[in-house]
Structure 1
Amino acid sequence: RQRKAAMARVSTPVAVVDAPSLTINEYFGNVSSDDYRLSACVAEVRDACEEAPQCPSFDEYVLVLEGKVELLIDGSQEPLLVAAGHGVYLPRGTRVKWRWPAPCKYIPICLPAFTPTNCGREDEPGNNHAKTSEAMRRLRELHAFAKYPRLFHVAQRPLWEAAKAKNTVYFPPTYSQDGSFTHATADPAKLINVLNHFYKDLA
């Protein structure tokens, strides 16, 4: 049976990391192209820095375009040096610490696609790593939004229809007593639990 050809698609990069020492633009992956199979990025290091150790659950292929990176594998103090014009393969389950002695530009390709969860990063609050705590917080937000781009809430039909008829904003009956807050969830699998917890007495 003849296999149907996949359609060509242009992907616009998303700046998934924008920290003082490190910028990462994702061209393919969970955030930029909604693809969990593979992520491909262009990373630029602006000055000497290092990353927290990590033990990813993905295979990673790295192409170094400019500068060099030092990789400390499995706690070794003797770095594996990867210079411009070379690449390195890091199989999943490899504990590695990245270190850059100077500016560097490289392309990381991860299979399956990178997420803040599957990278196995040994982070700590207030770190001084290339990916700062603030950069990691934003990275997690980007991935959460890519996974759950909408909020879900259930309205009582008569109240909803009345709001539509009057062309006014809908508010749940408990909006004021809840502190001007509407309870909702981005994960549809949790919607019933949210409704039972906050609105069961209104059913």
Structure 2
Amino acid sequence: MPKLPPGCELIETMRVMPDGDIPLWPAHYQRLECSATALGFPFDRTALTEVKTKIVIEAERTPQRCRLTLNGDGQLAFTMMPLSSTPEPVRIRICESPIVRSPEMRFLDAFKVSIRDHYDRAFAERGTADDVLLLNEAEEVTECTIYNIYIENKAGIFTPPVQCGLLPGIERTRLIEAGWATEQTLSISDVTSASQLYVSNAVRGCLRASLT
């Protein structure tokens, strides 16, 4: 396993309902545990259960966005903030150049970690758009900086496979397992010619999107 950058943390970003329910908690729990095992982070199930209890206690009267982190010492922490509504369609801008990643950084693509420099740089160039659609070195579509991406055409609804270099989002996994979307390598032309675009993440769910 490549050496992790200093300060690297695992992240789970979740939607917390007013009654304290976390709709996709089992999937978040499983991904965090699997990621911790893969990266060699200590993982304490009892401590995570205690943190979840604290999250439920802090639930407000409106939906919240919760950011849960696990560092290399096994320490858990979380922050919560009110969740604002998201207008549809989500406006997407295609990045101007492919994202070039070193082998060490490419290894981390499959994990939700705090090392997000390439996401932050792309997001900063979004202009009037809400998010930016990223491409890999082969100019294949991967994901947006906040969302996973889907296209709809006459053959169905498709989303890029993990092998293209993207985070397998919690909501993305749910939609694939439900049969709503299928993995398929996508090009820019697939996106621009699609009859409909969608984006998703665990906090916002699945939303209609459009290019800008």
Q: TM-score, normalised by structure 1?
A: 0.23
Q: TM-score, normalised by structure 2?
A: 0.22
Structure possessing the higher radius of gyration over alpha carbons: 1
